[in-house]
Amino acid sequence: MTLTRSTVPSQRHTMPRPRRAPATKAKAKTTAKATTAAPRSSVHRQAAVSATAGIRIGHHRVSVSTLLLLDVVLLCLIGLVMVGSASSVVSIATYGSPWAILIREAMWMAIGAIVLWLALRFDYRKLRRFSPLLMLVTVGLLFVVLVPGLGVHAMGSSRWVGFGQFRLQPSELMKLALTLFAADFITRRLDEDAADRRIIGPLLIVTGFACVLILAQPDMGTAMVLGFIALALLFVSGVRLGPVMKVMAALVGLALIVAVASPYRRARLLSFMDPSAHSSGSGYQVMQSLIGLGSGHFVGSGLGGGQAQWGFLPNAHTDFIFSVIGEQLGIVGALFVLALLGGFMWLGIRAAVQSSDRFGALLSLGLVAWVGAETLINVGAVIGVLPVTGIPLPFISFGGSSLVITMAAAGILINVARRGEAGTVLRVAGSGRRPAVTARGR
Protein backbone atom coordinates (compact mmCIF):
# COMPACT_ATOMS: atom_id res chain seq x y z
CA MET A 1 0.00 0.00 0.00
CA THR A 2 1.43 3.18 -1.10
CA LEU A 3 0.67 6.43 0.59
CA THR A 4 0.14 9.27 -1.77
CA ARG A 5 0.02 12.98 -0.76
CA SER A 6 -3.43 14.31 -1.10
CA THR A 7 -3.98 16.74 -3.88
CA VAL A 8 -6.50 18.63 -1.73
CA PRO A 9 -4.90 21.76 -0.34
CA SER A 10 -4.42 21.90 3.34
CA GLN A 11 -7.27 23.41 5.30
CA ARG A 12 -4.83 25.78 6.96
CA HIS A 13 -3.96 27.29 3.58
CA THR A 14 -7.37 27.16 2.03
CA MET A 15 -9.26 28.91 4.90
CA PRO A 16 -9.60 32.58 4.12
CA ARG A 17 -8.07 35.09 6.44
CA PRO A 18 -10.52 36.77 8.76
CA ARG A 19 -11.73 40.01 7.38
CA ARG A 20 -10.53 43.17 9.08
CA ALA A 21 -13.80 44.93 8.78
CA PRO A 22 -15.25 43.59 12.04
CA ALA A 23 -12.03 44.48 13.87
CA THR A 24 -12.15 47.96 12.39
CA LYS A 25 -15.72 48.30 13.50
CA ALA A 26 -14.83 47.15 17.03
CA LYS A 27 -11.93 49.55 17.09
CA ALA A 28 -14.20 52.35 15.96
CA LYS A 29 -16.61 51.49 18.74
CA THR A 30 -13.76 51.49 21.27
CA THR A 31 -12.48 54.82 19.94
CA ALA A 32 -15.92 56.32 20.07
CA LYS A 33 -16.38 55.06 23.62
CA ALA A 34 -13.01 56.52 24.65
CA THR A 35 -13.88 59.79 22.92
CA THR A 36 -17.14 60.04 24.78
CA ALA A 37 -15.48 59.02 28.05
CA ALA A 38 -12.68 61.54 27.80
CA PRO A 39 -14.81 64.59 28.48
CA ARG A 40 -16.38 62.85 31.45
CA SER A 41 -12.94 62.01 32.85
CA SER A 42 -11.79 65.61 32.34
CA VAL A 43 -14.88 66.94 34.05
CA HIS A 44 -14.39 64.57 36.94
CA ARG A 45 -10.74 65.59 37.31
CA GLN A 46 -11.64 69.27 37.30
CA ALA A 47 -14.33 68.65 39.89
CA ALA A 48 -11.86 66.73 42.05
CA VAL A 49 -9.31 69.54 41.78
CA SER A 50 -11.86 72.18 42.73
CA ALA A 51 -13.04 70.01 45.62
CA THR A 52 -9.59 69.66 47.12
CA ALA A 53 -8.08 73.09 46.43
CA GLY A 54 -9.26 76.15 48.30
CA ILE A 55 -12.15 77.11 50.53
CA ARG A 56 -15.67 77.59 49.28
CA ILE A 57 -16.98 81.15 49.70
CA GLY A 58 -20.43 81.39 48.22
CA HIS A 59 -20.33 79.81 44.76
CA HIS A 60 -16.58 80.20 44.36
CA ARG A 61 -13.50 78.55 45.78
CA VAL A 62 -10.60 80.68 46.97
CA SER A 63 -7.17 79.21 47.58
CA VAL A 64 -5.72 79.10 51.08
CA SER A 65 -2.67 81.08 49.97
CA THR A 66 -4.86 83.89 48.61
CA LEU A 67 -6.88 84.06 51.81
CA LEU A 68 -3.70 84.08 53.90
CA LEU A 69 -2.27 86.97 51.89
CA LEU A 70 -5.53 88.91 52.19
CA ASP A 71 -5.62 88.25 55.93
CA VAL A 72 -2.07 89.56 56.40
CA VAL A 73 -2.78 92.66 54.30
CA LEU A 74 -5.87 93.49 56.37
CA LEU A 75 -4.02 93.00 59.65
CA CYS A 76 -1.13 95.23 58.51
CA LEU A 77 -3.46 97.98 57.31
CA ILE A 78 -5.38 97.92 60.59
CA GLY A 79 -2.10 98.01 62.48
CA LEU A 80 -0.86 100.99 60.47
CA VAL A 81 -4.06 102.95 61.10
CA MET A 82 -4.19 102.11 64.81
CA VAL A 83 -0.51 102.90 65.40
CA GLY A 84 -1.06 106.31 63.83
CA SER A 85 -4.15 106.92 65.93
CA ALA A 86 -2.59 105.73 69.20
CA SER A 87 0.79 107.45 68.85
CA SER A 88 0.02 110.99 67.68
CA VAL A 89 0.35 112.63 71.11
CA VAL A 90 3.42 110.62 72.10
CA SER A 91 4.94 111.37 68.69
CA ILE A 92 4.51 115.12 69.20
CA ALA A 93 6.03 114.96 72.68
CA THR A 94 8.98 112.84 71.56
CA TYR A 95 9.74 113.92 67.98
CA GLY A 96 7.80 117.17 67.57
CA SER A 97 5.52 115.79 64.85
CA PRO A 98 2.30 113.77 65.10
CA TRP A 99 3.36 111.68 62.09
CA ALA A 100 6.88 110.65 63.13
CA ILE A 101 5.98 107.26 64.65
CA LEU A 102 3.47 106.55 61.88
CA ILE A 103 6.12 107.25 59.22
CA ARG A 104 8.54 104.90 60.94
CA GLU A 105 5.87 102.21 61.09
CA ALA A 106 5.10 102.68 57.39
CA MET A 107 8.83 102.41 56.60
CA TRP A 108 9.21 99.14 58.50
CA MET A 109 6.00 97.83 56.95
CA ALA A 110 7.34 98.59 53.47
CA ILE A 111 10.51 96.64 54.30
CA GLY A 112 8.35 93.82 55.65
CA ALA A 113 6.30 93.79 52.44
CA ILE A 114 9.49 93.40 50.39
CA VAL A 115 10.67 90.57 52.65
CA LEU A 116 7.26 88.88 52.38
CA TRP A 117 7.41 89.12 48.58
CA LEU A 118 10.90 87.64 48.55
CA ALA A 119 9.73 84.79 50.80
CA LEU A 120 7.11 83.94 48.18
CA ARG A 121 9.57 83.76 45.32
CA PHE A 122 11.76 80.80 46.28
CA ASP A 123 11.28 77.20 47.28
CA TYR A 124 10.90 77.15 51.07
CA ARG A 125 12.54 73.71 51.20
CA LYS A 126 15.87 75.37 50.41
CA LEU A 127 15.70 76.97 53.86
CA ARG A 128 16.57 73.59 55.40
CA ARG A 129 20.23 73.85 54.45
CA PHE A 130 20.49 77.32 56.03
CA SER A 131 18.59 76.61 59.27
CA PRO A 132 21.65 75.52 61.35
CA LEU A 133 23.63 78.54 60.15
CA LEU A 134 20.77 80.92 60.96
CA MET A 135 20.53 79.39 64.43
CA LEU A 136 24.26 79.85 65.08
CA VAL A 137 24.22 83.46 63.85
CA THR A 138 21.20 84.28 66.00
CA VAL A 139 22.78 82.73 69.10
CA GLY A 140 25.89 84.83 68.41
CA LEU A 141 23.75 87.97 68.21
CA LEU A 142 22.11 87.07 71.53
CA PHE A 143 25.60 87.01 73.07
CA VAL A 144 26.46 90.36 71.45
CA VAL A 145 23.34 91.94 72.95
CA LEU A 146 24.62 91.15 76.45
CA VAL A 147 28.05 92.72 75.87
CA PRO A 148 28.22 96.25 77.37
CA GLY A 149 28.83 98.81 74.67
CA LEU A 150 27.61 96.55 71.85
CA GLY A 151 24.03 95.89 72.91
CA VAL A 152 21.55 98.79 72.94
CA HIS A 153 20.18 99.26 76.46
CA ALA A 154 16.71 100.80 76.85
CA MET A 155 13.90 100.66 79.42
CA GLY A 156 15.87 98.39 81.73
CA SER A 157 16.63 95.78 79.08
CA SER A 158 19.38 95.09 76.58
CA ARG A 159 17.59 93.59 73.59
CA TRP A 160 18.83 95.35 70.43
CA VAL A 161 21.90 95.64 68.24
CA GLY A 162 22.40 98.37 65.68
CA PHE A 163 22.43 102.15 65.60
CA GLY A 164 19.93 104.99 65.29
CA GLN A 165 16.54 103.90 64.01
CA PHE A 166 17.95 100.76 62.39
CA ARG A 167 18.04 98.24 65.18
CA LEU A 168 17.64 94.50 65.16
CA GLN A 169 16.14 92.55 68.03
CA PRO A 170 17.86 89.13 67.95
CA SER A 171 15.21 87.58 70.18
CA GLU A 172 12.66 88.22 67.41
CA LEU A 173 14.96 86.61 64.87
CA MET A 174 15.33 83.63 67.20
CA LYS A 175 11.62 82.85 66.79
CA LEU A 176 12.11 82.33 63.09
CA ALA A 177 15.46 80.59 63.52
CA LEU A 178 14.09 78.13 66.08
CA THR A 179 11.00 77.36 63.99
CA LEU A 180 13.11 76.56 60.92
CA PHE A 181 15.69 74.60 62.90
CA ALA A 182 13.11 72.57 64.84
CA ALA A 183 11.07 71.72 61.72
CA ASP A 184 14.21 70.59 59.86
CA PHE A 185 15.62 68.69 62.86
CA ILE A 186 12.39 66.81 63.57
CA THR A 187 11.95 65.99 59.88
CA ARG A 188 15.44 64.49 59.65
CA ARG A 189 15.01 62.41 62.80
CA LEU A 190 11.58 61.15 61.73
CA ASP A 191 12.97 60.19 58.33
CA GLU A 192 15.59 58.15 60.19
CA ASP A 193 12.84 56.62 62.37
CA ALA A 194 14.82 57.75 65.40
CA ALA A 195 13.72 57.12 68.98
CA ASP A 196 11.71 59.80 70.76
CA ARG A 197 14.55 60.67 73.12
CA ARG A 198 16.77 61.53 70.13
CA ILE A 199 14.15 64.08 69.10
CA ILE A 200 13.05 65.50 72.44
CA GLY A 201 16.44 65.83 74.15
CA PRO A 202 18.48 67.78 71.57
CA LEU A 203 15.61 70.08 70.63
CA LEU A 204 14.86 71.01 74.24
CA ILE A 205 18.56 71.60 74.93
CA VAL A 206 18.80 74.06 72.02
CA THR A 207 15.55 75.75 73.01
CA GLY A 208 16.56 75.97 76.66
CA PHE A 209 19.94 77.50 75.81
CA ALA A 210 18.25 80.16 73.67
CA CYS A 211 15.72 80.88 76.44
CA VAL A 212 18.51 81.34 79.01
CA LEU A 213 20.21 83.94 76.80
CA ILE A 214 16.91 85.75 76.28
CA LEU A 215 16.02 85.67 79.99
CA ALA A 216 19.36 87.35 80.67
CA GLN A 217 18.27 90.44 78.70
CA PRO A 218 15.67 90.12 80.44
CA ASP A 219 12.76 89.12 78.17
CA MET A 220 10.55 86.50 79.71
CA GLY A 221 7.75 86.86 77.15
CA THR A 222 9.90 85.86 74.17
CA ALA A 223 11.30 82.91 76.14
CA MET A 224 7.73 81.74 76.70
CA VAL A 225 6.99 82.00 72.97
CA LEU A 226 10.08 79.94 72.11
CA GLY A 227 9.07 77.26 74.59
CA PHE A 228 5.58 77.18 73.12
CA ILE A 229 6.95 76.75 69.57
CA ALA A 230 9.19 73.85 70.58
CA LEU A 231 6.51 72.06 72.58
CA ALA A 232 3.93 72.51 69.83
CA LEU A 233 6.23 70.97 67.22
CA LEU A 234 7.07 68.07 69.52
CA PHE A 235 3.36 67.50 70.10
CA VAL A 236 2.44 67.38 66.40
CA SER A 237 5.49 65.28 65.50
CA GLY A 238 3.96 62.26 67.23
CA VAL A 239 6.48 61.70 70.04
CA ARG A 240 5.30 60.30 73.35
CA LEU A 241 3.60 62.98 75.42
CA GLY A 242 4.84 61.77 78.78
CA PRO A 243 8.35 63.25 78.59
CA VAL A 244 6.99 66.39 76.92
CA MET A 245 4.51 67.00 79.74
CA LYS A 246 7.24 66.50 82.34
CA VAL A 247 9.41 69.05 80.58
CA MET A 248 6.46 71.44 80.35
CA ALA A 249 5.84 71.15 84.09
CA ALA A 250 9.53 71.77 84.76
CA LEU A 251 9.51 74.86 82.51
CA VAL A 252 6.45 76.26 84.28
CA GLY A 253 8.15 75.77 87.63
CA LEU A 254 11.34 77.40 86.35
CA ALA A 255 9.35 80.34 84.99
CA LEU A 256 7.71 80.87 88.36
CA ILE A 257 11.08 80.76 90.12
CA VAL A 258 12.55 83.29 87.69
CA ALA A 259 9.48 85.53 88.10
CA VAL A 260 9.61 85.49 91.88
CA ALA A 261 13.40 85.95 92.04
CA SER A 262 13.31 89.27 90.17
CA PRO A 263 11.75 92.22 92.05
CA TYR A 264 10.46 93.74 88.81
CA ARG A 265 8.82 90.52 87.64
CA ARG A 266 7.52 89.77 91.12
CA ALA A 267 5.79 93.15 91.21
CA ARG A 268 4.19 92.48 87.83
CA LEU A 269 3.05 89.04 88.96
CA LEU A 270 1.45 90.44 92.09
CA SER A 271 -0.24 93.23 90.14
CA PHE A 272 -1.59 90.64 87.70
CA MET A 273 -3.18 88.72 90.56
CA ASP A 274 -4.89 91.87 91.88
CA PRO A 275 -4.34 94.92 89.63
CA SER A 276 -6.79 97.12 91.57
CA ALA A 277 -4.67 96.78 94.71
CA HIS A 278 -1.67 98.17 92.78
CA SER A 279 -3.57 100.66 90.62
CA SER A 280 -1.13 103.47 91.35
CA GLY A 281 1.98 101.33 90.83
CA SER A 282 2.70 98.14 88.93
CA GLY A 283 -1.01 97.56 88.23
CA TYR A 284 -1.60 101.02 86.73
CA GLN A 285 -1.07 99.91 83.13
CA VAL A 286 -3.50 97.01 83.36
CA MET A 287 -6.15 99.15 85.09
CA GLN A 288 -5.93 101.82 82.40
CA SER A 289 -6.12 99.11 79.75
CA LEU A 290 -9.32 97.72 81.27
CA ILE A 291 -10.80 101.22 81.53
CA GLY A 292 -10.08 101.83 77.86
CA LEU A 293 -11.60 98.51 76.80
CA GLY A 294 -14.70 99.14 78.89
CA SER A 295 -15.23 102.67 77.61
CA GLY A 296 -15.29 101.53 73.99
CA HIS A 297 -18.69 99.83 74.36
CA PHE A 298 -20.07 98.37 71.11
CA VAL A 299 -18.65 100.52 68.29
CA GLY A 300 -16.05 102.59 70.13
CA SER A 301 -15.33 106.31 70.29
CA GLY A 302 -13.90 106.50 66.76
CA LEU A 303 -10.36 106.92 65.48
CA GLY A 304 -8.48 109.49 67.55
CA GLY A 305 -11.13 109.36 70.28
CA GLY A 306 -10.77 108.17 73.85
CA GLN A 307 -8.06 108.94 76.37
CA ALA A 308 -5.49 106.16 75.96
CA GLN A 309 -3.40 108.01 73.38
CA TRP A 310 -3.15 111.09 75.63
CA GLY A 311 -0.65 109.37 77.89
CA PHE A 312 -3.05 107.71 80.30
CA LEU A 313 -2.07 104.27 78.98
CA PRO A 314 1.71 103.66 78.73
CA ASN A 315 2.90 101.86 75.58
CA ALA A 316 -0.47 102.43 73.93
CA HIS A 317 0.89 101.99 70.39
CA THR A 318 3.07 98.96 71.20
CA ASP A 319 2.20 96.28 73.74
CA PHE A 320 -1.26 97.65 74.63
CA ILE A 321 -2.57 98.59 71.21
CA PHE A 322 -5.38 96.04 71.57
CA SER A 323 -6.80 98.21 74.37
CA VAL A 324 -6.76 101.21 72.01
CA ILE A 325 -8.57 99.12 69.38
CA GLY A 326 -11.25 98.24 71.92
CA GLU A 327 -11.60 101.86 73.01
CA GLN A 328 -11.72 103.44 69.55
CA LEU A 329 -13.38 100.67 67.52
CA GLY A 330 -15.40 99.02 70.28
CA ILE A 331 -16.05 95.36 70.78
CA VAL A 332 -16.87 95.06 67.06
CA GLY A 333 -13.38 96.18 66.06
CA ALA A 334 -11.69 94.11 68.76
CA LEU A 335 -13.54 90.95 67.74
CA PHE A 336 -12.79 91.63 64.07
CA VAL A 337 -9.05 91.81 64.79
CA LEU A 338 -9.23 88.61 66.83
CA ALA A 339 -11.16 86.95 63.99
CA LEU A 340 -8.42 87.93 61.52
CA LEU A 341 -5.71 86.54 63.80
CA GLY A 342 -7.74 83.39 64.40
CA GLY A 343 -8.29 83.09 60.64
CA PHE A 344 -4.56 83.35 60.07
CA MET A 345 -3.96 80.43 62.42
CA TRP A 346 -6.77 78.33 60.93
CA LEU A 347 -5.54 78.94 57.39
CA GLY A 348 -2.02 78.10 58.54
CA ILE A 349 -3.25 74.74 59.79
CA ARG A 350 -4.98 74.18 56.44
CA ALA A 351 -1.69 74.95 54.71
CA ALA A 352 0.04 72.37 56.89
CA VAL A 353 -2.59 69.73 56.11
CA GLN A 354 -2.29 70.18 52.34
CA SER A 355 1.51 70.49 52.37
CA SER A 356 3.29 68.11 50.03
CA ASP A 357 6.14 67.31 52.42
CA ARG A 358 6.73 66.77 56.13
CA PHE A 359 9.06 69.74 56.54
CA GLY A 360 6.47 72.11 55.09
CA ALA A 361 3.77 70.76 57.41
CA LEU A 362 5.93 71.10 60.53
CA LEU A 363 7.16 74.53 59.46
CA SER A 364 3.58 75.75 58.97
CA LEU A 365 2.49 74.47 62.35
CA GLY A 366 5.51 76.06 64.02
CA LEU A 367 4.68 79.45 62.48
CA VAL A 368 1.05 79.06 63.58
CA ALA A 369 2.20 78.25 67.12
CA TRP A 370 4.42 81.35 67.08
CA VAL A 371 1.61 83.75 66.08
CA GLY A 372 -0.88 81.99 68.33
CA ALA A 373 1.37 82.22 71.38
CA GLU A 374 2.03 85.93 70.81
CA THR A 375 -1.68 86.64 70.35
CA LEU A 376 -2.62 84.72 73.49
CA ILE A 377 0.06 86.35 75.67
CA ASN A 378 -0.57 89.88 74.40
CA VAL A 379 -4.36 89.84 74.56
CA GLY A 380 -4.26 87.99 77.88
CA ALA A 381 -2.07 90.74 79.37
CA VAL A 382 -4.28 93.52 77.95
CA ILE A 383 -7.47 92.07 79.46
CA GLY A 384 -5.74 91.25 82.75
CA VAL A 385 -5.79 87.44 82.71
CA LEU A 386 -2.02 87.02 82.13
CA PRO A 387 1.00 88.92 83.47
CA VAL A 388 2.42 91.73 81.34
CA THR A 389 5.50 90.44 79.52
CA GLY A 390 6.01 92.93 76.69
CA ILE A 391 4.94 90.68 73.79
CA PRO A 392 3.61 92.63 70.76
CA LEU A 393 0.35 91.87 68.99
CA PRO A 394 1.34 90.25 65.66
CA PHE A 395 1.07 92.56 62.61
CA ILE A 396 -0.65 95.24 64.72
CA SER A 397 1.74 96.59 67.36
CA PHE A 398 4.37 99.16 66.46
CA GLY A 399 7.76 97.56 65.98
CA GLY A 400 10.65 97.39 63.56
CA SER A 401 12.34 93.99 63.56
CA SER A 402 9.28 92.36 65.12
CA LEU A 403 7.03 93.44 62.25
CA VAL A 404 9.53 92.63 59.50
CA ILE A 405 10.33 89.15 60.84
CA THR A 406 6.66 88.34 61.42
CA MET A 407 5.87 89.34 57.83
CA ALA A 408 8.74 87.16 56.63
CA ALA A 409 7.19 84.25 58.55
CA ALA A 410 3.83 85.00 56.93
CA GLY A 411 5.48 84.95 53.50
CA ILE A 412 6.99 81.54 54.19
CA LEU A 413 3.60 80.23 55.35
CA ILE A 414 1.89 81.52 52.19
CA ASN A 415 4.69 79.91 50.17
CA VAL A 416 4.01 76.53 51.79
CA ALA A 417 0.29 76.89 51.11
CA ARG A 418 0.85 77.86 47.47
CA ARG A 419 3.17 74.96 46.72
CA GLY A 420 0.87 72.56 48.52
CA GLU A 421 -2.03 73.70 46.33
CA ALA A 422 0.05 73.24 43.18
CA GLY A 423 0.98 69.72 44.28
CA THR A 424 -2.65 68.89 45.03
CA VAL A 425 -3.78 70.02 41.58
CA LEU A 426 -1.06 67.96 39.87
CA ARG A 427 -1.82 64.86 41.91
CA VAL A 428 -5.58 65.00 41.32
CA ALA A 429 -5.27 65.91 37.65
CA GLY A 430 -2.95 62.95 37.15
CA SER A 431 -5.42 60.61 38.88
CA GLY A 432 -2.68 59.72 41.33
CA ARG A 433 -3.26 59.10 44.97
CA ARG A 434 -1.11 60.89 47.45
CA PRO A 435 0.10 58.74 50.33
CA ALA A 436 -0.86 60.09 53.69
CA VAL A 437 1.89 62.23 55.18
CA THR A 438 2.07 61.54 58.85
CA ALA A 439 4.41 63.13 61.32
CA ARG A 440 5.76 59.87 62.58
CA GLY A 441 5.68 57.88 59.39
CA ARG A 442 4.87 54.69 61.27
Q: For 206-221, what is each residue's pLDDT tens digit?
A: 998 999 899 888 888 8
Q: Count structural domains, the chain.
A: 1
Residue of 412, 306, 309, 420 whose CA lies nearest to 368? 412
pLDDT, tens digit, 9 for 90 and up, residues 146-175:
887 777 766 666 677 777 667 788 999 999
- Residue 225 belongs to some domain of the structure: yes
**Band of residue 312 on the pLDDT scale cut at 50, 70, 90:** confident
Q: Which residues touch 145 (CB under 8 Å, ≥6 apart)?
A: 151, 158, 159, 160, 161, 170, 217
CA distance 192 to 234: 16
pLDDT above 60 (res 8) = no
pLDDT above 50 (res 303) = yes
Sign of torsion over alpha carbons 277, 283, 284, 287: negative
- Residue 269 belongs to some domain of the structure: yes
- Residue 210 belongs to some domain of the structure: yes
Global confidence as pTM: 0.81
Q: Which residues touch 282 (CB under 8 Å, ≥6 apart)?
A: 267, 268, 270, 271
- Residue 343 belongs to some domain of the structure: yes
- Residue 50 belongs to some domain of the structure: no
Per the model's pLDDT, the better-predicted residue between 237 and 50 turns out to be 237
- Residue 22 belongs to some domain of the structure: no
**Band of residue 274 on the pLDDT scale cut at 50, 70, 90:** low
Per the model's pLDDT, the better-predicted residue between 327 and 18 turns out to be 327
In degrees and rounded to multiples of 5, residue 176 shows phi and psi of -70, -40
Give the alpha-carbon dihedral of 423, 414, 364, 249, to 10 degrees.
-170
- Residue 29 belongs to some domain of the structure: no
Residue 119, beta-bridge partner list: none
- Residue 395 belongs to some domain of the structure: yes
- Structural domain span for residue 320: 61-427
**Band of residue 265 on the pLDDT scale cut at 50, 70, 90:** low
Provide the mean pLDDT of the chain. 80
CA distance 190 to 186: 6
Mean of pLDDT values over 185-202: 91
